[in-house]
Structure 1
Amino acid sequence: MSMSKSKVTKRAVLVGCNYPYSKFRLSGCANDVQSIKYVIMDKFGFHHDNIKVLTDDNTSPVLSSLLPTGANIKSALNDMLKNAAPGDVLFFYFSGHGTAVPVLVPGKHFRQDEAIVPCDFNLITDLDFRRLVNRVPEGASFTILSDSCHSGGLIEKEKKQNVFVPQALPQQLNLKAKPKFLVFDFINTAIDAAAGFAGNAVDAAAGFAHDGLHKIAEGAHKIFGKDVSLTFHPVQRAGGLLLDPLHEDEGILLSGCDSDETSYDIVSGGKAYGAFTHEVVDILKKMPDSITNKDLMQKAAEAVDKKGYEENQNPCLYCSDKNRDELFLGGLA
């Protein structure tokens, strides 16, 4: 369905988690949000009133409703979808830690689910994003740009598109690079402690290995209640939650790395930023015309590869064949 630009509303939820005052703190995620916000307003016609920002940047007033908790992020996304109309352009941006959730089910092959890590550890997984994408109105689009580790595959069952990355000789950069990655055992142990379960890190990991999702699901549901990820919901664990039928949908994922890789938080020259976000914003600021999802990811992947921030970070594109060649965020305003 074609819609004139004058009738299209562009809506965004932008999230940055620096996890201040913690041993796993990052430096550039709140900065990333401001960079993305500027470029989507300046270039793509997003209006301030249609942008929701959630950060834990300690330089801003701390309002509980604006902190990037799992519940607040999902509430903002649900509101965006609830208000969306056919033809709208929906955008979710995340900069922060990611993790891989091991799914150990007796009698089935081992697999991992990708997840982002909100500031309260209430994980949002690829299953949650799939359910959100399935609610997108006909003719609307939903783009996710995630600068976090294990971000490839964040929309469950979305098709991975091939983006060629030349192996360039990296530049010698004077910077500090920190992985945006939290080991799942650490999250598992923290949830155990918060839920009042006894045991140490070794016991928690062993218990998880034997019980599959049951152990962390029990703790997560005890802490977060109705706001827990669908992955850990009792109904889902009992096999009672069915996904809507999959089809050539409007979900578009631009990930900072593949599902088994790491994205990096960079400090260089007194500035802090996500490696992937920095390159995307630089490309968008300089481009005179609209750019397709495929071409944007091609340029971003080449830029990350050339800079050589760290090994093992290859930005990826996940979407239908049709959306591979669609304009990023509906094109320039």
Structure 2
Amino acid sequence: MPPVHQQHYGPQFQGPNQQIQQPFFQYSQCTGKKKALCIGINYFGQDSELRGCINDARNIQQFLCAKFGYRMEDIVILTDDAQNPRQIPTRQNMLNAMEWLVQGAAPNDSLFFHYSGHGGQTKDLDGDEDDGMDEVIYPVDFKQNGHIVDDDMHAIMVRPLPPGCRLTAVFDCCHSGSALDLPYTYSTEGKIKEPNLAAEAGSGLMTAVSSYARGDMSGVLHSAMGIVKVATGGTKKAEDYARATRTSPADAISWSGCKDSQTSADASEAGKATGAMSYAFITALSHNPHQSYMQLLNSLRDILRAKYSQKPQVRCSLLSCSRLKTIFSSSRVPTQW
């Protein structure tokens, strides 16, 4: 199991009332309550109708109950074949369900989010994306009421989490690499793909991180805008802004079916319609539930490599990821998500 206490990292700095502070994060022990939200949308009768997404949501629901101790009554499932209007994956129902998932979140809880459906991109308006595009997911009523942007999913499902609460998210959709706006991506070798924050952060960035941890969003934005003003180059600006505004002391991790620039397959496996990522995720952990994060990422890619070009990604909230090099090599995927 991971360490129990808060994990501090990076340089110390002077906070309010002249107190010395240091950024921190805290792992979940996964001994608290378990809640999950599973969304599957086939878009019946619409252009680009899908076949396997509803199956994915139900398969993940059953998988969580059978393998990881979740209870059916603690899992909300939204599918576009539901009879109950509240269980139809409309934009409003999806946003309400996301809020339900994190409501009352506490240290050592295990929260799980799964989405299978269409994904896409739209122009980034706040400067946190190095490619200039936000990632979005599409509710069943997106033509009438619009999509849901990664900025909003982060604000709803990550920002409210307390230190020591785990959120595991799985996105089985196109353009999903950074769909939850977690700022650090890891490779199959367990190496971080972006520069290490602690090594290069200036006082402005660390102040922004500490402001986020305290819930002081005005302080975050003030510090982040200062970073953006002094940074050079679009990618550098986006990286610094994302780190300053998307960090969290919680234990958040997202698995996605592909890179931001790729598509994810609506597939058929064993004669049944399924999303390729959902199928790989269940298959990999069914064969070996005690894998490290690096092993799991490699397992997902190995399963998909033979038939699909998509490359699954793993991203984390910065604070819960500063020691993921160690976690990737020595820690195991917890038996409770």
Q: Do they fold alike, i.e. is TM over 0.5?
A: yes
Instruction: Look up the match of 1:304.
Output: 304
Q: Which residue of 2 aligns with 1:290?
A: 290
Hey, what does 1:29 align to over in structure 2? 53
1:250 to 2:247 alignment? no
Alignment of 1:166-177 (within 5 A): none
1:158 equivalenced with 2:179 (yes/no) = no
- Counterpart residue number, 1:77: 98
Give the letter aligned to residue 274 of structure 1.
Answer: G
2-structure distance, mates of 1:126, 1:322: 25
Match of 1:78, SS state, is helix
| 2:90 is equivalent to residue 66 of structure 1 | no
In structure 2, stretches of 5+ residues that fail to align are 5-27, 191-241
| Residue equivalent to 1:149 | 174
User: Which residue does 1:189 correspond to in 2?
Assistant: none
Q: Which residue of 1 aligns with 2:32?
A: 8
For the structure 1 residues 103 and 291, does the alpha-carbon distance in structure 2 shift closer, same or farther, using more than 3 Å as the test?
Answer: same
Tell me if the contact between 2:134 and 2:149 (Cα under 8 Å) persists in the aligned partners: yes
Q: Aligned equivalents of 2:69 and 2:116: distance in 1? A: 22
Letter of the 1:302 partner, please give it.
D
Partner-residue secondary structure (3-state), 2:37: strand
The answer to whether the 8 A contact 2:176-2:257 is kept is yes
Structure 1 residues 82 and 29: CA distance shift in structure 2, 3 A = same
Q: Hey, what does 2:313 align to over in structure 1?
A: 316
Query: Partners in 1 of 2:38 and 2:99 — Cα distance?
Result: 14
Given that 1:39 and 1:284 are in contact with CA atoms closer than 8 Å, whether structure 2 keeps it comes out as no
CA contact (8 A) 1:279 1:300 kept: yes
How many residues are paired up? 247
Following TM superposition, by how much is the alpha carbon of 1:157 offset from its aligned partner in structure 2, in angstroms?
Answer: 4.6
TM-score, L = length of structure 2 = 0.66
The aligned counterpart of 1:331 is: 335
Query: Could you say if the C-alpha distance between residues 64 and 314 of structure 1 is closer, same or farther in structure 2, counting changes exceeding 3 Å?
Result: same
1:116, 1:44 → 2: CA distance? 26
Q: What do the CA deviations read for 1:228-267 (whole angstroms, capped 9, x no partner)?
A: xxxxxxxxxxxxxx98673454221100000110000013
How many Å apart are 1:4 and its aligned residue? 6.2
User: Residue 104 and residue 73 in structure 1: after superposition, are their counterparts in 2 closer, same or farther (change >3 A)?
Assistant: closer
| CA shift for structure 1 position 35 | 1.3
> Where does residue 94 of structure 1 map in the other structure?
115
Classify 1:154/1:70 alpha carbon distance in 2 versus 1 (closer, same or farther; 3 Å).
Answer: same
User: Contact 2:65 / 2:72 at 8 angstroms: preserved in 1?
Assistant: yes
**How is 1:215-294 mapped onto 2 (pairs within 5 angstroms)?**
246-247=247-248, 249-267=250-268, 270-287=271-288, 289-294=289-294
In 1, Cα distance between equivalents of 2:130 and 2:108: 40
SS in 1 for 2:50: coil
- Residues 295-321 of structure 1 show CA distances to partners (whole Å, capped at 9, x for unaligned) of 21210011111x223x3x110110124
Aligned match of 1:129: 153
The aligned amino acid for 1:77 is M
User: What is aligned with 1:207?
Assistant: none
8 Å contact kept, 1:99–1:150: yes
Choose the corresponding residue for 2:134, options 105, 113, 118: 113
Q: Could you list the runs of 5+ residues in structure 1 that have no partner in the other structure?
A: 166-241
- TM-score, with normalisation over the residues of structure 1? 0.67
